[in-house]
Chain A
Amino acid sequence: MGKASIIYVVGLGVLLIYYVFAISDTSTRSMTNSMEYHTRTMAHNAAVAGANIGTHKVLMGADSTLTFSSSFGGVPFNVAIDSVGATRVVTAVSSAPYEGKLGYGIIRDTVIATLQRIVLSRYAYFSGQEANGYMSPTSNSTSGGSMWKVTGDSMFGYAHTNTRWNLGGRPYFDSKVTAFNPPNTMLYGGVYDPIFNGGTQWGITVNRPQANLTRLESIASASSPPALVTGEDVALTFIADGTVQVKIPALTGTIRDETVPISSITSNGIIAVKGGDIRVKGTYAGQVTLTALSGASPQKGNIWIDGDIRAATNPRGNPSSNDMLGLVAERMAYVTTKDPVTGTLYPRNASSVLTIQAAIYAHNGVFGVEDYDSVPVSGRIDLFGGVTMNASTSTGKISGGVLSNGFLKSIRHDPRFLTAAPPGYPVSDKFLLVSWWEN
């Protein structure tokens, strides 16, 4: 009996010791598991914090190469900002000490942010301010009245204004909407409920440096042969086979009137006119940017859209189309409504459609319609591309809820312009976050 008791007690003791060790081990492993997850999360948060700070430095203008170190939640991180051409790459690496299942170690985490200068063709609609900035061909004055987006208005593509939107009713925005200030709001039909499918962000200013225009002038001048015309209006009628009819002056062609391959008048894709206007229409093949600069003539530097402008390979149905056209005006981009020689109105009616496949930029003015508030009802402008303007405007006049003069317009962004742009197309001096890599 005595021996049996001893064996029993020893056996029970051994079992208890085993259980205690086993339970202790599972508890330790459970704790280690939890600690590893916690440490990994802390390391990740520190890397994200470093990348956020680095990104902020780039967005605020510190765009040169830079390295710095700091810590977040006790976890140290190092950040490097590298310049790769027009791209800035922010790399944040954190390292958190950790003792886990496999012993002591360091958990590292990396976040990489890539930023690029904002190419203005990425916007479906961009305005410096939401006020009427229409200038007639003979005067640089504007009415400056507030322009409103209301029920029935829709935008497909990024939309931005450097001041604030004026919104009433239920205007529709398919992509993200940005502005410097929150919008002015108005009940329209008793409703204020704009639809922002891509969200909103206020406090954003996107500059449009004048240097874009001088850069384009320089590039055109450097073309072989030089593609800079000074003091004359130029008319260009594109032909789908890659040629273009060039007329200088635009209405007579007395200096030059010939049809040549686009590549024979510009080697780098930029054609510029200084102190003159450009008149354009037709079907283009290839990539070209037309630039009209005012020079010493305050009412010059306009682009006149004399008719349909189409890509030879339609980008609307074929996103891999290589045809791109940029229309850059220092003053206004007009849709022509009258024959420039005779002054007679172009024959248009309510069912007319003017097709434009291009990215349009008006540095000091807007993309508008010649005499939009007095010409007869002219149908609809179908713009597939994007428009960047100094202000806003209307392309037609609405009376009693119906179009009484000018055009309605439809703007659809060309998705190719999110990653590509016509040659030399204007850029902002600000950066945009284009990708964010987290482990």
Chain B
Amino acid sequence: MSVVLDLIGSLVVAAAVILFGLRLNSNISDHLQASVATLNVQEGLVDAVRSIEVDFRKIGYGVVDPKTAITISEPGRICFKADIDRNGTIDDVSWFLVQSPTAGGDTAKYLYRQVNSTSPLLVVTDVREFSLRYLKEDGTPADTTVKSQIWIVETTMRVKSPYKVADQVKGNEVMSEVEGFWRQTRLASRNLKRHG
């Protein structure tokens, strides 16, 4: 009888240990998945941000009259002139958002960069937010119909992972996308300021 009791007891303990191990495995796996997703979002965001910074700092470079450098100034789209590759020719550069073709009901979009009439280059996918605010020299909002008022571009970008992961509890959802957020509040090209 005692042998049977020993077997039953050891089975219970073994089952508990196995379940504990499986749960540990599952938790660590989820955490790893979330970490990788976070890293991917971060790397994508940093690459996109670097491209934006490099481009926006050149707004108006080589343009004779800097107040004509920005040609389109919309909340989700900017077009400007600059000799972006220092070859003596003024280029037309655009940054804009396009609805993701595979997003379905998702709010994510694609961020594109286009130089002159070349094909738009996909910079980053799964963009939740790409918003531009145009400011005057004193930091107050510029009248975007008067391009010469624009001295500063405040850029905000929010990027998400393409899939949901655990460890990202939001409200009642036990799984959600990882998000990365970046805002450059005072990104200004000296070429816009230099005139006068």
Residues of A within 8 A of B (CB): 1, 5, 8, 12, 15-16, 19, 22-23, 26-27, 29-30, 33-34, 36-37, 40, 113, 158, 160, 174-178, 197-201, 204, 415, 418-419, 432-439
Q: A34 to B50: give the CA distance in the assembly, Å.
A: 12
26 contacts between A and B (CB under 8 A): A8-B17, A16-B24, A22-B35, A22-B36, A23-B35, A26-B32, A26-B36, A29-B43, A30-B38, A33-B42, A37-B49, A158-B195, A175-B148, A178-B196, A197-B67, A199-B149, A204-B196, A415-B65, A419-B64, A433-B194, A435-B62, A435-B191, A435-B194, A436-B189, A436-B191, A438-B189
Q: How far is the CB of A171 from chain B (nearest CB, A)?
A: 16
B36 proximity list for chain A (CB < 8 A): 22, 26
Does B148 contact A437, Cβ atoms closer than 8 Å? no
Q: How far is the CB of A244 from chain B (nearest CB, A)?
A: 30
B149 proximity list for chain A (CB < 8 A): 197-199
Interface size class of B (residues with CB under 8 A): 35 or more
A5 proximity list for chain B (CB < 8 A): 14
B11 nearest in chain A by CB position: A1
A415 proximity list for chain B (CB < 8 A): 64-65
Does A30 contact B42, Cβ atoms closer than 8 Å? yes
A416 nearest in chain B by CB position: B64
Q: How far is the CB of A331 from chain B (nearest CB, A)?
A: 28
Q: A176 to B24: give the CA distance in the assembly, Å.
A: 65
A160 CB contact (under 8 Å) in B62, B67, B137, B196: B196
A5 nearest in chain B by CB position: B14
Does B50 contact A199, Cβ atoms closer than 8 Å? no
**B170 lies within 8 A of chain A by Cβ:** no
Q: Mark B138-174, 1 if CB is under 8 A from A, else 0.
A: 0000000010110100000000000000000000000
B21 nearest in chain A by CB position: A12
Does B190 contact A1, Cβ atoms closer than 8 Å? no
Q: A212 to B142: give the CA distance in the assembly, Å.
A: 40
Q: A174-B148, A197-B149, A198-B148 are in contact. Are A30 and B39 (CB under 8 A)?
A: yes
Q: How far is the CB of A1 from chain B (nearest CB, A)?
A: 7
A174 proximity list for chain B (CB < 8 A): 148
Does A19 contact B28, Cβ atoms closer than 8 Å? yes
Q: A175 to B196: give the CA distance in the assembly, Å.
A: 8
Q: How far is the CB of A120 from chain B (nearest CB, A)?
A: 14
A437 CB contact (under 8 Å) in B31, B32, B58, B151: B58
Q: A37-B46, A419-B64, A438-B57 are in contact. Are A199 and B196 (CB under 8 A)?
A: yes
Q: Mark B37-81, 1 if CB is under 8 A from A, else 0.
A: 011001100100110001001100110110100000000000000
**B136 lies within 8 A of chain A by Cβ:** yes
Q: A174 to B148: give the CA distance in the assembly, Å.
A: 8
Q: A1 to B14: give the CA distance in the assembly, Å.
A: 10
Does A436 contact B196, Cβ atoms closer than 8 Å? no
B32 proximity list for chain A (CB < 8 A): 19, 22-23, 26
Q: A197-B149, A437-B61 are in contact. Are A23 and B196 (CB under 8 A)?
A: no
Does B196 contact A158, Cβ atoms closer than 8 Å? yes
Main secondary structure of the interface of B (DSSP, over half): helix
Residues of B within 8 A of A (CB): 10, 14, 17-18, 21, 24-25, 28-29, 31-32, 35-36, 38-39, 42-43, 46, 49-50, 54, 57-58, 61-62, 64-65, 67, 86, 136-137, 146, 148-149, 151, 189-191, 193-196
B10 proximity list for chain A (CB < 8 A): 1
Does A438 contact B196, Cβ atoms closer than 8 Å? no
B86 proximity list for chain A (CB < 8 A): 437
Q: Which of B28, B46, B193, B195 has most chain A Cβ within 10 Å? A: B195
A197 proximity list for chain B (CB < 8 A): 67, 146, 148-149
Does A198 contact B195, Cβ atoms closer than 8 Å? yes
Q: Which of A8, A27, A197 has most chain B Cβ within 10 Å? A: A197
Q: How far is the CB of B137 from chain A (nearest CB, A)?
A: 4
B196 CB contact (under 8 Å) in A16, A176, A437: A176
A26 CB contact (under 8 Å) in B39, B67, B191: B39
Q: A177 to B195: give the CA distance in the assembly, Å.
A: 9
Q: Which of B14, B31, B43, B190 has most chain A Cβ within 10 Å? A: B190
Known: A27-B35, A30-B39, A33-B39. 10 other contacts (CB 8 A): A19-B28, A22-B35, A23-B35, A34-B42, A36-B46, A37-B50, A160-B196, A197-B67, A197-B149, A433-B190
Q: How far is the CB of B85 from chain A (nearest CB, A)?
A: 11
Q: A22 to B136: give the CA distance in the assembly, Å.
A: 47
Q: A435 to B18: give the CA distance in the assembly, Å.
A: 69
B38 proximity list for chain A (CB < 8 A): 26, 30
A200 proximity list for chain B (CB < 8 A): 137
Q: How far is the CB of A79 from chain B (nearest CB, A)?
A: 16
A178 proximity list for chain B (CB < 8 A): 196
Does A33 contact B14, Cβ atoms closer than 8 Å? no
Q: A411 to B24: give the CA distance in the assembly, Å.
A: 79
Q: How far is the CB of A272 from chain B (nearest CB, A)?
A: 30
Q: A83 to B86: give the CA distance in the assembly, Å.
A: 20
A434 proximity list for chain B (CB < 8 A): 194
